[in-house]
Structure 1
Amino acid sequence: MFKIKTYNAISVKGLNRFPREKYEVASDIGQPDAYILRSHKLHGEALPESVKAVARAGAGTNNVPVEEYTKKGVVVFNSPGANANAVKELVLTGMLLGSRGILPGMAYVNSLTHMTDADEMSKLLEKEKSNFAGFELQGKTLGIVGLGAIGSLIADAALALGMNVVGFDPALSVEAAWRLPSQVGRMENLQSLLARSDYITLHVPAIPATKHLINADTLKVCKKGATLLNFAREAIVDAHAVVESLDAGHLGKYICDFPEPILLNRHDVYAMPHIGASTEEAEENCAIMAADQLVDYLENGNIKNSVNFPAVAMDRNAGIGARITFSNENVSGVLGHVLSVLADHKVNVVDMVNKSRGDVAYNIIDVEVAPSTQVIDALAKVEHVIAVRVI
């Protein structure tokens, strides 16, 4: 029986992916095999030795001490793309709000509470509507920084609206490139994209390399009057630099999902309360993906969508005695030493796979017969081995 500890309110559809005959799932559970969570911060919390994996029902893992967990052999999963449609729709909403006088127009209408005559109100609004005129998106250029799951969906939608789309992503994967519409123009650098775009939307992770990616210097390169949208991570944009650019009349609008005190009560800033992925469908999709990844890892040792371990998968063949998985520091000779231990104990290897990522390596080994406790103890004592499991 596997034990799963939940944090936050995880969608029932996700929790139902854990078969009740194999899993005990609760928010208060001792010696859990894994965590599933949304925004709960694990930094500074003691980690039970029983925990083998953590699954985040969402894309970002800033709330998980990934480096610390990696050293302990704990696999950290996220749910990339599961909330992509929700974020895409909110970005489109932001662009539409920013292009027309929708919010100030509605605020003006709601201020007319002193009026009682409908005809009089209609005449007044006809006179004042020019104050809330805007621009159409068709024919404008949208620059997308980050062309992953969310960026590619936004590109599709923007093209359907008749926009010109350019993109920049120095870490574009082959898989992401296949998803990307062919009409998207590839920019060689961020500055080229900023200089061409009427609208700029950010979809990159919050890592040291992207901290204040948008700053005083990059904002100077932006097209005058451009609208900047940030529905990725707060740290990517220097809010003080944005305010300075807005005050100088260079940047046109800033639309984001990360309110800060300096951004409040401005006519040129639309700040939303971090609702990019706050839809019922997105929460369900994230929870389902996170749960499925935990199940496959705990039952089969397979890893998909981990932020700290390599992607590894191997089919399980009928008649195999057992599956051994182990993680180790990514140095030469460890796998050979492990295989020698198995050979010394007459444990025959049927199939195996080995992958590495950065400083960590992960291995799946299928053997004819289940290894004894003595064998597992010997494997755990191999130099540079971090964690060993038998499934």
Structure 2
Amino acid sequence: MSTKPKVLLAMHRNLGEQIFRREDFEFFKTFVDVNEISSLPEKVDEAFIRDNIKGVDICISCWGTPPFTKEVLDNADRLKLIAHSAGSVKPIVTDYVWEKGVRVTSAAPAIAVAVAEMTLGLMIIALKRVFQFNELTHRGFWKLEEEIVKSRSLYNVTVGIVSASHVGRNVIRLLKNFQVEILLYDPYVSLEEAERLGVKLVSLEELMARSDVVSLHAPSIPETYHMINRENIKLLKPGAILINTARGSLIDESALIERLARGDIFVCLDVTDPEPPEINSPLRILPNVILTPHIAGGNSITDRWRQGRYIIEQIYKFITQGTMDYEVTKEMLPRIA
């Protein structure tokens, strides 16, 4: 009989194939007893988890995994950890998880790296006006002087970060490679922590008014609904760039569209509200808007490999040290994505 901790993969088969690289999964099997990805159902349901969770120490969930209900957890006689290989755990955790003393982690920090990388890329190419130059060059123009003088680099500009979330902190880390001023708005960050991060803590209004680039990284919770609205959108200075790789609900899109119609700001939106945007939404036709279909994090195959590797590493730390780099607690839920 194996003495390794028993792990249950509880995810759709195609996600298991995408999340876990063969080499990583083989390494995983050196220290746990885990069901094979090929044995997973096409679509995992509550019955699959309920019928297989007895005797399991750790359960790995993902997008589409059903919630861990009382009916499921009544069969979980040894469950110690739920390791969610996707982002938000809100769709899967219930009060019974906390009542049973099961610990929880997720791959949110790994996904945040991918989102931060795309955010930085958008900053660079938006400041350089790559989108505009691409269109002009396709139309037969070349190095129009009146356009060249509008382009900028990530040098001697002010970047405003809204929320020191996982993504926000990764963006701040990446920006340390550039000579820029970083402003931060986050009501949960103290002056001391802001100093450690190397940013200046300011109000949202000051951030919107001073920044050359505003990047949104707040969670979608009631307190952040339309936090970017008519009153602070009007504070954006001409030439400002607004990037949203967080959630569409953060922005009052009608107010944003009004400002965009003036033509004096540029916006990169990886998220909208609703998703996708209405087919006749002005966001689809305005020339100063770049739209991508919510692809910043957790979509590419390499992004997903990073998630899988992160979860394997967290499980290894949990087994060998009883700790994890990122643990989700019940108290955190009201203010995380």
Same fold, TM-score > 0.5, yes or no: yes
| 1:212 aligned counterpart, secondary structure | coil
Identify, as 1 or 2, the structure richer in helix.
2
Change (3 A) 1:6 1:175: farther
The correspondence for 2:152, drawn from 136, 147, 150, is 136
Determine the structure 1 residue equivalent to 2:188.
171
Determine the structure 2 residue equivalent to 1:362.
none
Consecutive unaligned residues of structure 2, counting only runs of 5 or more, are: 42-47
The correspondence for 2:309, drawn from 281, 288, 306, is 288
The 5 Å alignment of 1:54-133 reads 54-67=82-95, 69-71=97-99, 73-111=101-139, 125=142, 128=144, 130-131=146-147
Determine the structure 2 residue equivalent to 1:242.
256
Instruction: Give me the whole-angstrom Cα distance separating, in 2, the residues matched to 1:41 and 1:174.
Output: 39
Determine the structure 2 residue equivalent to 1:258.
271
Instruction: Give me the whole-angstrom Cα distance separating, in 2, the residues matched to 1:16 and 1:221.
Output: 53
Task: Verify the 8 A CA contact 2:214 2:241 in the aligned structure 1.
Answer: yes
- Please report how far the alpha carbon of residue 248 of structure 1 lies from its aligned counterpart in structure 2 after TM superposition: 4.4
Q: Over residues 319-353 of structure 1, what are the superposed CA-to-partner deviations in whole Å (9 max), with x where a residue is unaligned?
A: xxxxxxxxxxxxxxxxxxxxxxxxxxxxxxxxxxx
Letter in 2 for 1:36: I
Instruction: Give me the whole-angstrom Cα distance separating, in 2, the residues matched to 1:133 and 1:301.
Output: 56
Instruction: Give me the whole-angstrom Cα distance separating, in 2, the residues matched to 1:134 and 1:21.
Output: 56
Change (3 A) 1:82 1:237: same
Task: Verify the 8 A CA contact 1:36 1:57 in the aligned structure 2.
Answer: yes
The 5 Å alignment of 1:1-391 reads 2-7=6-11, 8=15, 9-12=18-21, 14-19=24-29, 22-25=32-35, 26=37, 27-28=40-41, 30-32=51-53, 33=56, 34-40=58-64, 42=66, 48-49=72-73, 50-51=75-76, 52=79, 53-67=81-95, 69-71=97-99, 73-111=101-139, 125=142, 128=144, 130-131=146-147, 134-137=150-153, 138-172=155-189, 177=194, 180-181=197-198, 184-187=199-202, 189-249=203-263, 252-259=265-272, 260-261=276-277, 262=281, 263-277=283-297, 278-279=299-300, 281-297=302-318, 302=323, 305-309=326-330, 357=331
Consecutive unaligned residues of structure 1, counting only runs of 5 or more, are: 113-123, 310-356, 360-391
| 1:144 aligned counterpart, secondary structure | strand
Letter in 1 for 2:252: D
Instruction: Give me the whole-angstrom Cα distance separating, in 1, the residues matched to 2:325 and 2:146.
Output: 53
- Please report how far the alpha carbon of residue 75 of structure 1 lies from its aligned counterpart in structure 2 after TM superposition: 3.3
Aligned residues: 296
Change (3 A) 1:172 1:78: farther
Instruction: Give me the whole-angstrom Cα distance separating, in 2, the residues matched to 1:31 and 1:231.
Output: 37
Letter in 2 for 1:266: L
Task: Verify the 8 A CA contact 1:144 1:167 in the aligned structure 2.
Answer: yes
Change (3 A) 1:77 1:274: same
Instruction: Give me the whole-angstrom Cα distance separating, in 2, the residues matched to 1:235 and 1:47.
Output: 34
Q: Over residues 219-240 of structure 1, what are the superposed CA-to-partner deviations in whole Å (9 max), with x where a residue is unaligned?
A: 2333344211111223322333
Instruction: Give me the whole-angstrom Cα distance separating, in 1, the residues matched to 2:26 and 2:195.
Output: 33
Higher mean displacement: 137-146 or 214-223? 214-223
Instruction: Give me the whole-angstrom Cα distance separating, in 2, the residues matched to 1:230 and 1:254.
Output: 8
| 1:81 aligned counterpart, secondary structure | helix
Letter in 2 for 1:39: W
Letter in 1 for 2:114: A
- Please report how far the alpha carbon of residue 199 of structure 1 lies from its aligned counterpart in structure 2 after TM superposition: 0.8
Instruction: Give me the whole-angstrom Cα distance separating, in 1, the residues matched to 2:124 and 2:323.
Output: 43
Change (3 A) 1:100 1:133: farther
Letter in 1 for 2:8: I
Instruction: Give me the whole-angstrom Cα distance separating, in 2, the residues matched to 1:269 and 1:231.
Output: 14
Instruction: Give me the whole-angstrom Cα distance separating, in 1, the residues matched to 2:218 and 2:233.
Output: 17
Instruction: Give me the whole-angstrom Cα distance separating, in 2, the residues matched to 1:39 and 1:221.
Output: 38
Letter in 1 for 2:181: N
Q: Could you state the TM-score of these two structures normalised by the residue count of structure 1?
A: 0.63
Identity score, percent: 22
Identify, as 1 or 2, the structure richer in strand.
1
Instruction: Give me the whole-angstrom Cα distance separating, in 2, the residues matched to 1:148 and 1:211.
Output: 16
Letter in 1 for 2:82: V
Task: Verify the 8 A CA contact 1:148 1:176 in the aligned structure 2.
Answer: no
Instruction: Give me the whole-angstrom Cα distance separating, in 2, the residues matched to 1:220 and 1:72.
Output: 49
- Please report how far the alpha carbon of residue 288 of structure 1 lies from its aligned counterpart in structure 2 after TM superposition: 2.3
Instruction: Give me the whole-angstrom Cα distance separating, in 2, the residues matched to 1:62 and 1:270.
Output: 30
Instruction: Give me the whole-angstrom Cα distance separating, in 2, the residues matched to 1:80 and 1:174.
Output: 25
Q: Over residues 52-82 of structure 1, what are the superposed CA-to-partner deviations in whole Å (9 max), with x where a residue is unaligned?
A: 3432234433543455643554433123432
Instruction: Give me the whole-angstrom Cα distance separating, in 2, the residues matched to 1:204 and 1:38.
Output: 22
- Please report how far the alpha carbon of residue 200 of structure 1 lies from its aligned counterpart in structure 2 after TM superposition: 0.5
Task: Verify the 8 A CA contact 2:194 2:200 in the aligned structure 1.
Answer: no
Task: Verify the 8 A CA contact 2:246 2:271 in the aligned structure 1.
Answer: no
| 1:200 aligned counterpart, secondary structure | strand
Letter in 1 for 2:34: E
Letter in 1 for 2:291: A
| 1:4 aligned counterpart, secondary structure | strand
Task: Verify the 8 A CA contact 1:17 1:292 in the aligned structure 2.
Answer: no
**Which is higher, the Rg of structure 1 or of structure 2?**
1
Change (3 A) 1:300 1:155: closer
